[in-house]
Structure 1
Amino acid sequence: MTLTLIDSATATARILDAPSESLDDLVREMWQPMAGMYHFIPGGPDLAAVHRQSFGFDTDFDTDGPISQLREGLEALIAADAWRRVETALHNGIAALEASIPDLTVPDLTVLLVLGDPANRHFVDEVQGLSGFGGISGYISLTLWPTPRVLDRLEAIAVHELHHNVRYSPGGIVWDPTTVTVGEHVVSEGLADVFATELYGDAGYTHFVADETRTDDAVLAKVVSGLDVTGMQDFAAWVLGDATARMFGSTPVGLPTGAGYAAGARIVEAYRDATGRSAAEAVHVPASEILAIALPRLGLADPRTT
C-alpha cells in the first residue's frame, strides 16, 4: 500500500500569506487530493466549504489578531514535527493491523492534516481542538488545534482514524447510511480508541471525553439504550453528546460530550476480556457480535433483543 501525507504545512503557510481574493482557491487546492473522499456527491462538493465545515481555520483575515494566532498554531505543529509523527504512527498502525490479520488488505491512504479554527468555541472548548474523519476508504483528515494535549496525542489520534478506515474498506464492514445503527458507530469508536491504547497506552483514549464520563454506569446504560437507533441525523447526540447535537440541529438525548466513545471503549474492552481478541484483530468483527458478547459481561440487556 502507499501512504501519501499531503504537505499542508507549506500549503497553509502559502494561504496565510496570500491576498484575500486568492484564499478560497488556495484552500481548495490544498484539499484537492482529498476530492475522491466525496465520490458519492455528483460533481463533488466545494472543497472550501468542506474545509470550513471540518473546523478548518477561518480565511477571513480582517484583523492582525486572528492571522497572528493562526501563524502561531502552524508554527506549533511544525515545531512538534506533526507531519512526520503522524506518518510514522500510521505506518506503525498498519504494521500492527497486518500482524494481527495476515491476509488483511490496507487501502492506499491519502492523509490531510489541517490547522483548526481557534475562534470556533465548539471546536476549542467542547471537542478540545480535535476533529478527525477516517470513515471513507483511502482517506483520512485530521483537523487539529495544537494544544499540549493534542500534541501529546498526535500518534494516537492518527491510528484511531486508521482503524476506522480499515474497518470500512473493502473486505470489512459496510456502512450503509440507510440501515447503520448507533451500535455500529459506538462500537467503531470503541474499537478505534482501544486500538490506539494498544499502541500508545492511555493516550489512546479520545481526550475530549471526561474521566467521569468514562466510568459513569448511567452514561453507559443510556448509550446502550440507543444502540438500535438508525438514522445518521441522530448519531451526533448518541455518540458525541448533546452539545454537538445542538450544534448540528438534532435532538439532544441527555448525554455528555463523547459519551459514545466512553461506552464504546467499555464495550470493546469487555469483548476483549471475554475473547482475548485485540482491537486490531477485531477490526472487521461485526458490531452485533461484539455487543452480544460484551453487554452481558457489563450486566446490560441488549436493546435489539428486548
Structure 2
Amino acid sequence: MEKLRVNLINSLEFYEKCLHGKGSENSFRYELMQPLKTMWDYLNVPLKAATPNGYDVVMASEMLGIWTPRKSIQQVSDNLSKLIETRIFEEYEEVIKKGVREFENIGYSIPLEEINLSILLGDEDSREMETNKGYSGFGGIPGYIMLMVVPNEFNKNRLKSALAHEFNHNVRFTFEPFNHGDVTVEEYLVIEGLAECFAEEIYGREFIGPWVENFDEEEMEYSREVIKEGRKTKGFAEVSAYMFGDEVAKKQGYNPVGLSANAGYTIGYHLVKEYLAKSKRSIAEATITPSGEIIRVSEFFN
C-alpha cells in the first residue's frame, strides 16, 4: 500500500489570529474552510452565500457545532490551550497509521491517496456539543475528516478514538458509498456500529464514545424491537429519528419513533459485535463487507 498522506489544516494558526483580533467570517471561510472546499461542494454548501445571511459554510459549521467568529472570542481564550493539551495535534498521524495497519493486515489497499484533516474548536452553546459531551466528528466524505471539540475532562483522552471512528467512515464509504436520500435504518446501524467497534479495537472499550449508551436488558430489547420494525425505513431525516432518539428528533423536526437518546448508535454497536462474534472476522474485514451480509450473519433481528 502506498503511504496515505494526512494533510492537517492549520486551525491553530487561525485561532491565534482570532485571539489577536484578526479573525473574521471571511478568514473563517477562506483560511479555515477553503481547504475543505471539495467536501463542502459535495454537500452543496457554498463558501459564501449568494445573498446576505444566506446558507453558507459559516451557517453550516454552526449547525454542526463548530465555533465561528460570530460567537464569543472568550470561547477561544478559554478552550484553545485545553485543546492543545489533549495532544491530538501531535498524535493524529499515529491514529491514522494505526487505522491503516488494520487494513494492511488483511491485505486491503485503501483507495485514498490523502486525508485532509481539520481539528476544530466546538461551540460551547451548541446543543450538538452538549449532547455528545463536548466532541463530535464528520468523516462522511472519503478524504476529509473534521473533529470538533469543546475540550473537557470526559473527552480529553477520547479524541484519538473519535478520530479512528471517523477514519473508519472514510474507508467504509470508499467501499459502500453513503446515499443520503436512500440510506436505510439498518444501513446506518451498520455504518455507526462498524466505526465504533473499529475505534474500540484500536483504543479499547474505556474510550468508547457517549453515543453508545449503557442500556439495561429491558431497554435493549425494547429498542431492538422498535428498530426491527423500522429497519427498512429510508431517507436521512426519517432514519435520524431511529439513530438519535426522540429528544433530538423533536428538536430537529423529525417524527419521533419512541426511542431513547442514541438508540440507533447503541443498537448498531451491538449488532456489529454480534456479527464479529458469529463471523469470526476482524473489524477491518467487516468494514469492507456489504451491510446486508452483516445484518444477515449477525442474526440480530431474527
TM-score when normalising by structure 2: 0.88
Identity score, percent: 28
| From 133, 141, 145, the counterpart of 1:128 | 133
Deviations 1:33-63 (A, max 9, x none): 11111333568353222321221114235xx
**Equivalent residue, structure 1, for 2:6:** 3
Secondary structure, counterpart of 1:239 in structure 2: helix
**Equivalent residue, structure 1, for 2:51:** none
Secondary structure, counterpart of 2:154 in structure 1: helix
Tell me whether 1:288 sits opposite 2:288 in the alignment: no
Q: 1:1-306 alignment to 2 at 5 Å?
A: 1-18=4-21, 23-28=24-29, 29-40=31-42, 44-45=46-47, 46-60=56-70, 66-120=72-126, 122-169=127-174, 172-212=175-215, 216-295=220-299, 298=300, 300-301=301-302
* Cα distance in 2 for residues equivalent to 1:294 and 1:242: 26
Deviations 1:181-238 (A, max 9, x none): 1111110100000011111111352224332269722122222322111011112211
* Cα distance in 2 for residues equivalent to 1:213 and 1:26: 48
What residue identity is the alignment partner of 1:212?
Answer: F
Question: Measured at CA, do residues 7 and 273 of structure 1 come closer, stay the same or move farther in structure 2, by a change above 3 Å?
Answer: same
Contact 1:126–1:243, Cα closer than 8 Å, also in 2: no
Question: Measured at CA, do residues 222 and 31 of structure 1 come closer, stay the same or move farther in structure 2, by a change above 3 Å?
Answer: same
Secondary structure, counterpart of 2:294 in structure 1: helix
Deviation at 1:168, TM superposition (A): 0.6
* Cα distance in 1 for residues equivalent to 2:60 and 2:229: 33
TM-score when normalising by structure 1: 0.87
* Cα distance in 2 for residues equivalent to 1:148 and 1:213: 26
* Cα distance in 1 for residues equivalent to 2:165 and 2:43: 26
Question: Measured at CA, do residues 106 and 114 of structure 1 come closer, stay the same or move farther in structure 2, by a change above 3 Å?
Answer: same
Aligned residues: 289
Deviation at 1:151, TM superposition (A): 1.0
Unaligned runs of 5+ in 2: 48-55
Question: Measured at CA, do residues 208 and 283 of structure 1 come closer, stay the same or move farther in structure 2, by a change above 3 Å?
Answer: closer
Secondary structure, counterpart of 1:3 in structure 2: strand
Question: Measured at CA, do residues 240 and 16 of structure 1 come closer, stay the same or move farther in structure 2, by a change above 3 Å?
Answer: farther
Unaligned runs of 5+ in 1: 302-306
Deviation at 1:30, TM superposition (A): 0.5
Deviation at 1:146, TM superposition (A): 0.6
Contact 2:245–2:262, Cα closer than 8 Å, also in 1: yes
**Equivalent residue, structure 2, for 1:304:** none
Question: Measured at CA, do residues 204 and 187 of structure 1 come closer, stay the same or move farther in structure 2, by a change above 3 Å?
Answer: farther
Question: Measured at CA, do residues 257 and 17 of structure 1 come closer, stay the same or move farther in structure 2, by a change above 3 Å?
Answer: farther
* Cα distance in 2 for residues equivalent to 1:24 and 1:194: 37
What residue identity is the alignment partner of 1:35?
Answer: K
What residue identity is the alignment partner of 1:34?
Answer: L
What residue identity is the alignment partner of 1:7?
Answer: N
What residue identity is the alignment partner of 1:145?
Answer: V
